[in-house]
Amino acid sequence: MIKLGLQIPNFSYGTGVAQLFPTVIAQAQEAEAAGFDSVFVMDHFYQLPGLGTPDQPMLEAYTALGGLATATQRVQLGTLVTGNTYRNPTLLAKAITTLDVISQGRAVLGIGTGWYELEHDSLGYEFGTFTDRFNKLGEALEIILPMLRGERPTVEGTYYRAKEAMAEPRFRDHIPLMIGGSGEKKTIPLAARHFDHLNIIASFDDLPRKVQVLRENCERIGRDPASVETSVLAVAIIDENVTVDALPDAFKRQAVVGSPEQIAEQVQTNVLDAGVDGVILSPVTNINGYQPGGITAVAEQLRPRLGL
Protein backbone atom coordinates (compact mmCIF):
# COMPACT_ATOMS: atom_id res chain seq x y z
CA MET A 1 0.00 0.00 0.00
CA ILE A 2 1.14 3.52 -0.81
CA LYS A 3 -0.97 5.96 1.19
CA LEU A 4 1.57 8.40 2.63
CA GLY A 5 4.67 8.90 0.54
CA LEU A 6 7.54 11.34 0.46
CA GLN A 7 9.10 12.53 -2.77
CA ILE A 8 12.54 14.13 -2.58
CA PRO A 9 12.32 16.69 -5.40
CA ASN A 10 15.72 18.36 -5.23
CA PHE A 11 19.23 18.01 -3.89
CA SER A 12 19.98 21.71 -3.34
CA TYR A 13 20.36 22.06 0.41
CA GLY A 14 22.90 24.85 0.76
CA THR A 15 25.57 22.31 1.65
CA GLY A 16 28.67 21.11 -0.09
CA VAL A 17 28.65 17.92 -2.13
CA ALA A 18 30.04 15.94 0.82
CA GLN A 19 26.88 16.60 2.84
CA LEU A 20 24.43 16.20 -0.03
CA PHE A 21 23.67 12.49 0.26
CA PRO A 22 23.77 12.44 4.07
CA THR A 23 20.97 15.03 3.85
CA VAL A 24 19.02 12.76 1.50
CA ILE A 25 19.47 9.88 3.97
CA ALA A 26 18.30 12.08 6.84
CA GLN A 27 15.06 12.87 4.99
CA ALA A 28 14.38 9.22 4.20
CA GLN A 29 15.10 8.14 7.75
CA GLU A 30 12.87 10.86 9.19
CA ALA A 31 10.07 9.81 6.84
CA GLU A 32 10.45 6.19 7.90
CA ALA A 33 10.41 7.06 11.60
CA ALA A 34 7.38 9.33 11.09
CA GLY A 35 5.26 6.60 9.52
CA PHE A 36 5.56 7.32 5.82
CA ASP A 37 5.17 4.10 3.85
CA SER A 38 7.30 5.07 0.85
CA VAL A 39 10.11 7.35 -0.29
CA PHE A 40 10.60 8.38 -3.91
CA VAL A 41 13.16 10.32 -5.89
CA MET A 42 12.69 11.94 -9.29
CA ASP A 43 14.18 10.22 -12.32
CA HIS A 44 15.86 13.23 -13.88
CA PHE A 45 19.39 14.24 -14.76
CA TYR A 46 18.77 18.01 -14.74
CA GLN A 47 16.63 19.98 -12.29
CA LEU A 48 13.14 20.75 -13.52
CA PRO A 49 11.70 24.12 -14.53
CA GLY A 50 9.97 25.75 -11.60
CA LEU A 51 12.21 23.97 -9.09
CA GLY A 52 15.54 25.37 -10.19
CA THR A 53 17.99 25.79 -13.03
CA PRO A 54 19.12 22.74 -15.03
CA ASP A 55 22.63 22.83 -13.54
CA GLN A 56 21.51 22.42 -9.93
CA PRO A 57 22.46 19.11 -8.23
CA MET A 58 20.61 16.02 -9.45
CA LEU A 59 21.54 12.47 -8.53
CA GLU A 60 20.92 9.48 -10.78
CA ALA A 61 17.82 7.85 -9.38
CA TYR A 62 18.61 4.15 -9.11
CA THR A 63 22.11 4.71 -7.74
CA ALA A 64 20.62 6.96 -5.06
CA LEU A 65 17.85 4.45 -4.27
CA GLY A 66 20.42 1.70 -3.80
CA GLY A 67 22.12 3.89 -1.20
CA LEU A 68 18.82 4.59 0.53
CA ALA A 69 18.02 0.88 0.61
CA THR A 70 20.99 0.32 2.93
CA ALA A 71 20.06 3.28 5.14
CA THR A 72 16.39 2.36 5.73
CA GLN A 73 14.56 -0.77 6.88
CA ARG A 74 10.84 -0.41 6.19
CA VAL A 75 9.85 2.21 3.61
CA GLN A 76 9.18 1.25 0.03
CA LEU A 77 11.58 2.83 -2.45
CA GLY A 78 11.12 3.95 -6.03
CA THR A 79 11.08 6.71 -8.60
CA LEU A 80 8.20 9.05 -9.20
CA VAL A 81 8.51 8.14 -11.96
CA THR A 82 11.11 6.47 -14.19
CA GLY A 83 11.36 8.01 -17.66
CA ASN A 84 11.06 5.00 -19.94
CA THR A 85 13.09 6.71 -22.67
CA TYR A 86 16.22 6.91 -20.51
CA ARG A 87 16.95 3.17 -20.27
CA ASN A 88 16.67 0.05 -22.32
CA PRO A 89 13.80 -1.96 -20.80
CA THR A 90 16.06 -4.92 -20.01
CA LEU A 91 18.38 -2.58 -18.08
CA LEU A 92 15.45 -1.11 -16.19
CA ALA A 93 14.19 -4.60 -15.30
CA LYS A 94 17.66 -5.43 -13.99
CA ALA A 95 17.89 -2.17 -12.02
CA ILE A 96 14.54 -2.61 -10.28
CA THR A 97 15.06 -6.27 -9.45
CA THR A 98 18.49 -5.39 -8.05
CA LEU A 99 16.93 -2.64 -5.92
CA ASP A 100 14.36 -5.16 -4.69
CA VAL A 101 17.12 -7.57 -3.65
CA ILE A 102 19.15 -4.86 -1.91
CA SER A 103 16.09 -3.53 -0.07
CA GLN A 104 14.74 -6.98 0.83
CA GLY A 105 11.53 -6.58 -1.12
CA ARG A 106 10.82 -2.85 -0.85
CA ALA A 107 11.15 -1.70 -4.47
CA VAL A 108 8.34 -0.01 -6.38
CA LEU A 109 8.57 0.36 -10.14
CA GLY A 110 7.24 3.78 -11.01
CA ILE A 111 7.30 4.41 -14.75
CA GLY A 112 6.06 6.90 -17.32
CA THR A 113 6.71 8.00 -20.86
CA GLY A 114 9.33 10.68 -20.12
CA TRP A 115 8.57 14.31 -20.88
CA TYR A 116 11.53 16.65 -20.20
CA GLU A 117 12.67 17.59 -23.69
CA LEU A 118 15.81 19.47 -22.59
CA GLU A 119 17.26 16.32 -21.02
CA HIS A 120 16.60 14.30 -24.14
CA ASP A 121 18.14 16.87 -26.45
CA SER A 122 21.14 17.57 -24.24
CA LEU A 123 21.98 13.97 -23.37
CA GLY A 124 21.20 12.35 -26.70
CA TYR A 125 17.95 10.51 -25.95
CA GLU A 126 15.36 10.44 -28.71
CA PHE A 127 12.33 12.51 -27.71
CA GLY A 128 9.82 12.25 -30.55
CA THR A 129 6.12 12.87 -30.13
CA PHE A 130 4.02 11.91 -27.13
CA THR A 131 2.52 9.13 -29.23
CA ASP A 132 6.03 7.84 -29.99
CA ARG A 133 6.93 7.86 -26.31
CA PHE A 134 3.68 6.21 -25.26
CA ASN A 135 4.11 3.45 -27.84
CA LYS A 136 7.66 2.92 -26.59
CA LEU A 137 6.35 2.55 -23.05
CA GLY A 138 3.80 -0.03 -24.12
CA GLU A 139 6.47 -2.05 -25.94
CA ALA A 140 8.89 -1.74 -23.03
CA LEU A 141 6.28 -3.22 -20.69
CA GLU A 142 6.10 -6.29 -22.93
CA ILE A 143 9.70 -6.94 -21.90
CA ILE A 144 9.86 -5.56 -18.36
CA LEU A 145 6.77 -7.17 -16.84
CA PRO A 146 7.60 -10.76 -17.84
CA MET A 147 11.19 -10.30 -16.66
CA LEU A 148 9.97 -9.16 -13.24
CA ARG A 149 7.90 -12.36 -13.01
CA GLY A 150 10.93 -14.53 -13.77
CA GLU A 151 9.96 -15.23 -17.36
CA ARG A 152 12.34 -14.91 -20.32
CA PRO A 153 10.64 -12.80 -22.99
CA THR A 154 11.73 -12.63 -26.61
CA VAL A 155 10.54 -9.49 -28.37
CA GLU A 156 11.28 -8.13 -31.84
CA GLY A 157 9.51 -4.82 -31.65
CA THR A 158 9.49 -1.47 -33.38
CA TYR A 159 11.63 0.13 -30.69
CA TYR A 160 13.16 -2.69 -28.61
CA ARG A 161 14.29 -6.25 -28.96
CA ALA A 162 15.20 -8.91 -26.43
CA LYS A 163 16.02 -12.59 -26.69
CA GLU A 164 15.11 -14.79 -23.71
CA ALA A 165 15.93 -11.85 -21.43
CA MET A 166 16.52 -12.72 -17.78
CA ALA A 167 16.62 -10.73 -14.53
CA GLU A 168 18.22 -12.81 -11.78
CA PRO A 169 18.34 -12.76 -8.83
CA ARG A 170 14.84 -11.69 -7.92
CA PHE A 171 13.55 -11.22 -4.38
CA ARG A 172 9.87 -11.81 -5.27
CA ASP A 173 7.65 -12.51 -8.24
CA HIS A 174 5.70 -9.26 -8.16
CA ILE A 175 7.12 -5.78 -7.68
CA PRO A 176 4.38 -3.14 -7.24
CA LEU A 177 3.83 -1.15 -10.43
CA MET A 178 3.05 2.57 -10.41
CA ILE A 179 2.35 4.82 -13.35
CA GLY A 180 2.28 8.60 -13.09
CA GLY A 181 0.05 10.91 -15.08
CA SER A 182 -3.60 11.69 -15.74
CA GLY A 183 -4.25 11.33 -19.46
CA GLU A 184 -7.75 9.96 -19.97
CA LYS A 185 -7.15 8.45 -23.42
CA LYS A 186 -3.86 6.66 -22.83
CA THR A 187 -2.39 6.77 -19.30
CA ILE A 188 -5.47 5.91 -17.26
CA PRO A 189 -6.53 3.02 -19.54
CA LEU A 190 -2.97 1.66 -19.34
CA ALA A 191 -3.10 1.92 -15.54
CA ALA A 192 -6.33 -0.06 -15.51
CA ARG A 193 -4.79 -2.82 -17.64
CA HIS A 194 -1.38 -3.27 -16.02
CA PHE A 195 -0.71 -1.25 -12.90
CA ASP A 196 -1.23 -1.56 -9.16
CA HIS A 197 -1.09 2.17 -8.50
CA LEU A 198 -1.92 5.36 -10.38
CA ASN A 199 -0.23 8.52 -9.15
CA ILE A 200 -2.45 11.28 -10.47
CA ILE A 201 -0.54 14.38 -11.49
CA ALA A 202 -3.32 16.91 -11.94
CA SER A 203 -4.98 19.95 -10.47
CA PHE A 204 -7.00 19.27 -7.33
CA ASP A 205 -10.08 20.46 -9.21
CA ASP A 206 -9.68 17.63 -11.73
CA LEU A 207 -9.27 14.77 -9.25
CA PRO A 208 -12.92 13.62 -8.96
CA ARG A 209 -13.11 13.25 -12.74
CA LYS A 210 -9.80 11.36 -12.94
CA VAL A 211 -10.96 8.93 -10.26
CA GLN A 212 -14.21 8.39 -12.14
CA VAL A 213 -12.40 7.78 -15.45
CA LEU A 214 -10.17 5.20 -13.76
CA ARG A 215 -13.23 3.46 -12.32
CA GLU A 216 -14.93 3.36 -15.73
CA ASN A 217 -11.83 1.94 -17.41
CA CYS A 218 -11.49 -0.79 -14.79
CA GLU A 219 -15.15 -1.75 -15.07
CA ARG A 220 -14.86 -1.85 -18.87
CA ILE A 221 -12.23 -4.60 -18.70
CA GLY A 222 -13.77 -6.43 -15.73
CA ARG A 223 -11.27 -5.29 -13.12
CA ASP A 224 -12.28 -4.30 -9.60
CA PRO A 225 -11.58 -0.53 -9.41
CA ALA A 226 -10.55 -0.96 -5.78
CA SER A 227 -7.59 -3.06 -6.93
CA VAL A 228 -5.92 0.04 -8.41
CA GLU A 229 -4.63 2.31 -5.66
CA THR A 230 -4.52 6.04 -6.30
CA SER A 231 -2.47 8.88 -4.93
CA VAL A 232 -1.72 12.50 -5.72
CA LEU A 233 1.66 14.17 -5.92
CA ALA A 234 1.36 17.42 -3.95
CA VAL A 235 3.98 20.11 -3.58
CA ALA A 236 4.26 20.89 0.14
CA ILE A 237 5.50 24.06 1.80
CA ILE A 238 5.54 23.45 5.53
CA ASP A 239 5.55 27.00 6.79
CA GLU A 240 2.67 28.65 8.63
CA ASN A 241 3.77 32.03 7.29
CA VAL A 242 3.19 31.01 3.66
CA THR A 243 -0.16 30.98 1.88
CA VAL A 244 -1.08 29.47 -1.46
CA ASP A 245 -1.40 32.98 -2.90
CA ALA A 246 2.38 33.31 -2.74
CA LEU A 247 2.89 30.41 -5.16
CA PRO A 248 3.23 30.60 -8.94
CA ASP A 249 -0.05 29.94 -10.71
CA ALA A 250 1.24 26.63 -12.07
CA PHE A 251 1.54 25.23 -8.53
CA LYS A 252 -1.46 26.74 -6.76
CA ARG A 253 -3.88 23.87 -7.45
CA GLN A 254 -1.34 21.12 -6.82
CA ALA A 255 0.18 22.41 -3.58
CA VAL A 256 -0.53 22.27 0.12
CA VAL A 257 0.92 25.00 2.30
CA GLY A 258 0.95 26.27 5.84
CA SER A 259 1.22 24.64 9.25
CA PRO A 260 1.08 20.83 9.58
CA GLU A 261 -2.55 21.13 10.67
CA GLN A 262 -3.42 23.30 7.68
CA ILE A 263 -1.66 20.93 5.28
CA ALA A 264 -3.56 17.95 6.68
CA GLU A 265 -6.85 19.80 6.26
CA GLN A 266 -5.97 20.69 2.67
CA VAL A 267 -5.07 17.08 1.88
CA GLN A 268 -8.38 15.95 3.36
CA THR A 269 -10.46 18.47 1.42
CA ASN A 270 -8.62 18.40 -1.91
CA VAL A 271 -7.41 14.81 -2.14
CA LEU A 272 -9.13 12.35 0.18
CA ASP A 273 -12.60 13.84 -0.14
CA ALA A 274 -12.16 13.62 -3.94
CA GLY A 275 -11.94 9.85 -3.67
CA VAL A 276 -8.15 9.51 -3.94
CA ASP A 277 -6.60 6.91 -1.61
CA GLY A 278 -3.42 8.69 -0.56
CA VAL A 279 -0.93 11.49 -1.01
CA ILE A 280 2.75 11.72 -1.87
CA LEU A 281 4.17 14.93 -0.49
CA SER A 282 6.98 16.75 -2.27
CA PRO A 283 8.36 19.25 0.27
CA VAL A 284 10.15 22.29 -1.07
CA THR A 285 13.66 22.25 0.42
CA ASN A 286 15.70 24.29 -2.05
CA ILE A 287 14.88 27.61 -0.38
CA ASN A 288 15.89 27.13 3.25
CA GLY A 289 17.44 23.69 2.98
CA TYR A 290 16.15 20.57 4.70
CA GLN A 291 14.50 21.42 8.01
CA PRO A 292 14.19 18.33 10.25
CA GLY A 293 10.86 17.84 11.99
CA GLY A 294 8.57 19.27 9.35
CA ILE A 295 7.53 16.05 7.67
CA THR A 296 7.21 14.37 11.07
CA ALA A 297 4.73 17.00 12.20
CA VAL A 298 2.74 16.66 8.97
CA ALA A 299 2.68 12.86 9.29
CA GLU A 300 1.28 13.11 12.81
CA GLN A 301 -1.65 15.08 11.42
CA LEU A 302 -2.17 12.93 8.32
CA ARG A 303 -1.85 9.39 9.63
CA PRO A 304 -5.26 9.32 11.39
CA ARG A 305 -6.95 10.69 8.27
CA LEU A 306 -5.34 7.96 6.18
CA GLY A 307 -6.11 5.18 8.64
CA LEU A 308 -2.42 4.62 9.42
Instruction: Please classify residue 222 by burial: count the beta carbons closer than 10 Å to its beta carbon, then call 0-12 exposed, 13-18 middle and 19+ buried.
Output: exposed
Closest CA to 9 of 276, 268, 304, 254: 254
For the CA atoms of the chain, what is the radius of gyration? 19
% of the chain exceeding 90 in pLDDT = 88
pLDDT at site 67? 98
The pLDDT of 178-198, averaged and rounded, is 94
CA-to-CA distance for 83 and 158, rounded, in angstroms?
Answer: 18
What is the SS3 string spanning 276-290? Answer: CCEEEEEECCCCCCC
> 243 versus 184: which is more confidently predicted?
184
DSSP 307: T
pLDDT in tens, 235-275: 999 988 887 777 777 677 899 999 999 999 999 999 999 99
Cβ(67)–Cβ(96) under 8 Å?
no
At 27, the amino acid letter reads: Q
Among 13-22, 49-58, 168-177, 246-255, whose mean pLDDT is lowest? Answer: 246-255
pLDDT at site 36? 98
pLDDT at site 286? 67
**Going from the N-terminus, what domains does the chain have, and what CATH number goes with each?**
4-306 (3.20.20.30)
pLDDT in tens, 91-119: 999 999 999 999 999 999 999 999 999 99
Helix, strand and coil content of the chain, in percent to the nearest 5, comes to 45, 20, 40
Cβ(6)–Cβ(280) under 8 Å?
yes
For the stretch 141-168, what's the b/e string if a residue is b when 16 or more beta carbons lie within 10 angstroms of its beta carbon?
A: bebbbbbbeeeebebeeebbebeebebe
pLDDT at site 97? 98
Closest CA to 194 of 176, 171, 212: 176
pLDDT in tens, 285-294: 766 778 899 9
What confidence tier does 51 reach under pLDDT thresholds 50, 70, 90? confident
